[in-house]
């Protein structure tokens, strides 16, 4: 394949793909049942963000939502925040979840890092959910109570979530690789009644005992009345934990009965997710049972085009919103695939091997994983049978053009590569896959239905073919109900509506072209501003990471905060590589040629690693503040970092900068 540039055509849907697409079936349903005739996705999208009440009501009917009481109105007030959706309706997420199950068919395929691929049938999932729900209810869990989980990406996490939702209680989770401080920073804010935890997990072939952390959680979460322990390292018989019952004992001793579903209002909280928490405590984001139900049905059915015969995978942990999104695949009756462990153990082909073994049809991952495979020179299509894959999803950060090229050359030229963008804040992708439209290198296909995504300039005006602030100008049902412990909504308002009152500002740079294709340029609060020319950091990362010697990088622009212009670049190098003058010059030349001379960094420094949050985001803004002289403890919560030791270098660097200026 030729060297691609942004906008190169890579894939077009065949006539068969268009005919069989769920979007096509939905448009046919709208014509037959609502008298609405749309010829293109663009026409459908325009209607969905203009007649938003009619659009969301159509999804309620199309998916035949089960509710014990009907809604009185679809939307009370088109305002943000404060929109109230489907007032009067009473329903339950778990009831809608299980209505499509076929007892003897697989619901979950589970691959632990150490062990073989296993299955959980729909009937097993239902029966175990029933038992855990009964057990939680016997512990005193009631609607509105919080049930928190310290669990890896295992079937028990899904069972515990569904049991919690069936009771009208509120779910929240952290993975066991989070340290005790990070977990307490999250769970202590929401005062949970019950804790479901694991005794340990495996990573890179090594066991990690977490019973000490669980004991600390029990001691420091005074509202927790009971702990359920899932055992992965031992049989739990000799556990030192107090007031704890074993998961397996609950399943063995609780009788099997029909699952009952607490009927709750549409806007009753389903779960609490968390912002990354790079500064201060993470924000606890409450999202609704009904809003998530409708949004995830729309996303997985219409945009990912999932069908019951598919097998849906996303590499994630219980601490990333993609875990919640992955569970949404089961709403659609689509079996999902869980992997618990390192994607690089015993080698970086681990997940491609799983794709072959599990018959995976949709492979979801982070853009960073694709880039790692590309850097490692992997060619999975030469080693594995990936013929069942029909789509690949990428998110977490912008996927560069060469990432698109690598997928089409080394996975399959026939699959739909759906680079998607969204966020924890809405627990969905509001830009992404549109199976009826072509795919162009470096572009996301377009805004999702019901998501009025636009790029705003500084004057708050929508722009085309220009980079602007990513905004959403109409409310969506999965937007946060509120932040926990934010009674006057001040943190909520400041997080999304301070720049453009009444308009959701997401915090990303976005360009939308004339065909509605979208390019994300990274976080708008980590802008590069060189002599008045602004751009997102991802453009520089794209250029730098095209050099094989470099495995990661971070660029910080101090001019954007009113300082004298200075922009250092920090690079993590491949093992055995040194940052000599030749490599420095090649980095600068690549940036000069690919971007512009004014975006060449002032200095380049080698570092062992780049600082990341636990959710996998580069800590651009905290590092910038550290370089400006702010103390670490004021700008970065090291307990919320994946590699807290990485920040020490930048604190020392800030001191050198200070001495240089004085």
| pLDDT tens track for 233-242 | 988 777 889 9
Place of tokens 């001691």: 219
pLDDT in tens, 190-205: 999 999 999 999 999 9
- How many alpha carbons lie under 13 Å from residue 646 in its C-beta half-sphere? 27
Place of tokens 């080394």: 410
What are the distances in angstroms from CA 152 to CA 136, 177, 220?
A: 20, 8, 21
Confidence of residue 560 (pLDDT cuts 50, 70, 90): very low
Q: Per-residue pLDDT averaged across 295-308, rounded?
A: 98
- Percent of the chain surpassing pLDDT 70: 96
Surface-to-core class of residue 614, CB atoms within 10 Å of its CB (0-12 exposed, 13-18 middle, 19+ buried): buried
pLDDT for 62? 99
Asked if 197 and 214 count as a contact pair (C-beta separation under 8 A), the reply is yes
Asked if 341 and 203 count as a contact pair (C-beta separation under 8 A), the reply is yes
Q: Is the pLDDT of residue 275 over 60?
A: yes
With the CA atoms of 465, 621, 596 and 603 taken in that order, what torsion angle do they form, in degrees rounded to the nearest 10?
180
Cis previous bond, 193, omega within 30: no
Domains of the chain: 523-661 (3.30.300.30)
With the CA atoms of 557, 404, 392 and 343 taken in that order, what torsion angle do they form, in degrees rounded to the nearest 10?
-60
Phi (first) and psi of residue 346, to 5 degrees: -80, -10
Q: Give this prediction's pTM.
A: 0.87
Residue 386: CB atoms within 10 Å: 18
DSSP designation for 441: T
Q: Per-residue pLDDT averaged across 621-631, rounded?
A: 87
Q: Is the pLDDT of residue 368 over 90?
A: no
More confident residue, 83 or 591: 83
Asked if 319 and 615 count as a contact pair (C-beta separation under 8 A), the reply is yes
pLDDT in tens, 479-500: 999 999 999 999 999 999 999 9
pLDDT in tens, 133-167: 999 999 999 999 999 999 999 999 999 999 999 99
pLDDT for 553? 95
pLDDT for 527? 66
Q: Per-residue pLDDT averaged across 328-354, rounded?
A: 97
pLDDT for 603? 95
pLDDT for 660? 80
pLDDT for 452? 99
Q: Is the pLDDT of residue 561 over 50?
A: no
- Percent of the chain surpassing pLDDT 90: 78
Q: Whole-number mean pLDDT of the chain?
A: 93
Distance (Å, whole) CA 552 – CA 399 = 14
Of 46-55, 244-253, 551-560, 590-599, least confident by mean pLDDT is: 590-599
- At how many degrees (to 10) do helices 155-166 and 122-138 cross? 60
pLDDT for 562? 40
Place of tokens 């793909």: 17
Cis previous bond, 546, omega within 30: no
DSSP designation for 366: E
Confidence of residue 528 (pLDDT cuts 50, 70, 90): confident
Q: Per-residue pLDDT averaged across 308-323, rounded?
A: 96
Q: Is the pLDDT of residue 342 over 70?
A: yes
Q: Per-residue pLDDT averaged across 319-345, rounded?
A: 96
Confidence of residue 399 (pLDDT cuts 50, 70, 90): confident
Confidence of residue 531 (pLDDT cuts 50, 70, 90): low
Distance (Å, whole) CA 591 – CA 398 = 18
Q: Per-residue pLDDT averaged across 192-221, rounded?
A: 96
């Amino acid at each position: 394949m030729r060297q691609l540039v942004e906008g190169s055509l890579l894939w077009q849907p065949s006539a068969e793909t268009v005919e069989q697409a769920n979007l096509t079936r939905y448009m046919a349903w709208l014509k037959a049942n609502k008298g609405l005739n749309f010829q293109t996705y663009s026409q459908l999208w325009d209607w969905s963000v203009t007649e938003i009440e009619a659009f969301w009501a159509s999804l309620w009917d199309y998916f035949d939502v089960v509710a014990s009481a009907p809604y009185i109105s679809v939307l009370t007030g088109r305002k943000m925040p404060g929109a109230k959706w489907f007032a009067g309706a009473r329903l339950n997420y778990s009831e809608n979840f299980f209505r499509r199950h076929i007892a003897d068919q697989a619901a979950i395929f589970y691959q632990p890092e150490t062990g073989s691929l296993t299955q959980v049938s729909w009937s097993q999932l239902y029966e175990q959910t029933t038992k855990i729900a009964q057990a939680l209810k016997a512990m005193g869990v009631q609607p509105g109570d919080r049930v928190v989980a310290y669990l890896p990406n295992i079937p028990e996490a899904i069972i515990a979530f569904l049991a919690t939702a069936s009771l009208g209680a509120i779910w929240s989770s952290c993975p066991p690789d989070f340290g005790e401080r990070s977990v307490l920073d999250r769970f202590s804010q929401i005062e949970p009644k019950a804790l479901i935890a694991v005794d340990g997990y495996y990573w890179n072939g090594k066991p990690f005992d977490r019973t000490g952390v669980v004991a600390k959680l029990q001691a420091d979460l005074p509202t927790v009345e009971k702990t359920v322990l899932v055992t992965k390292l031992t049989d739990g018989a000799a556990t030192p934990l107090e007031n704890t019952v074993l998961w397996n004992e609950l399943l063995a001793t609780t009788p099997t009965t029909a699952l009952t579903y607490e009927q709750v209002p549409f806007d009753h909280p389903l779960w609490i997710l968390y912002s990354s928490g790079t500064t201060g405590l993470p924000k606890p984001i409450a999202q609704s049972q009904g809003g998530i139900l409708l949004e995830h049905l729309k996303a997985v059915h219409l945009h990912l085009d999932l069908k019951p015969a598919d097998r849906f995978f996303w590499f994630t942990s219980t601490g990333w919103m993609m875990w919640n999104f992955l569970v949404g695949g089961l709403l659609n009756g689509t079996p999902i695939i869980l992997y618990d462990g390192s994607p690089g153990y015993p080698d970086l082909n681990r997940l491609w091997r799983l794709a072959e073994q599990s018959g995976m049809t949709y492979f979801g991952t982070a853009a960073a994983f694709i880039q790692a495979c590309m850097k490692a020179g992997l060619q999975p299509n030469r080693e594995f049978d990936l013929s069942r894959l029909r789509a690949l999803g990428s998110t977490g950060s912008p996927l560069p053009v060469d990432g698109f090229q690598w997928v089409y050359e080394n996975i399959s030229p026939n699959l739909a590569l759906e680079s998607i963008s969204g966020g924890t804040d809405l627990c969905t992708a509001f830009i992404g896959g549109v199976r009826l439209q072509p795919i162009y290198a470096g572009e996301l296909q377009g805004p999702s239905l019901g998501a009025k995504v636009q790029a705003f300039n500084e004057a708050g005006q929508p722009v085309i073919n220009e980079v602007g602030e990513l905004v959403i100008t109409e409310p969506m049902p999965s937007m946060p109900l509120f932040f926990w412990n934010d009674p006057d909504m001040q943190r909520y308002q400041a997080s999304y509506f301070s720049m453009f009152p009444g308009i959701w500002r997401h915090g990303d740079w976005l360009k939308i072209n004339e065909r509605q294709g979208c390019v994300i340029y990274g976080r708008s609060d980590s802008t590069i501003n060189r002599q008045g020319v602004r751009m997102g950091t991802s453009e520089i990362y794209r250029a730098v990471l095209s050099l094989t010697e470099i495995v990661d990088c971070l660029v910080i622009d101090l001019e954007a905060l009113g300082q004298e212009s200075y922009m250092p670049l920090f690079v993590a190098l491949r093992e055995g590589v040194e940052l000599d003058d030749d490599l420095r010059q090649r980095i600068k030349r690549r940036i000069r040629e690919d971007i512009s001379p004014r975006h060449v960094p002032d200095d380049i420094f080698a570092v062992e690693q780049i600082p990341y949050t636990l959710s996998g985001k580069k800590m651009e803004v905290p590092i910038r503040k550290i370089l400006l002289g702010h103390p670490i403890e004021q700008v970065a919560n090291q307990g919320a970092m994946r590699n807290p030791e990485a920040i020490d270098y930048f604190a020392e660097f800030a001191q050198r900068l200070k001495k240089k200026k004085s």
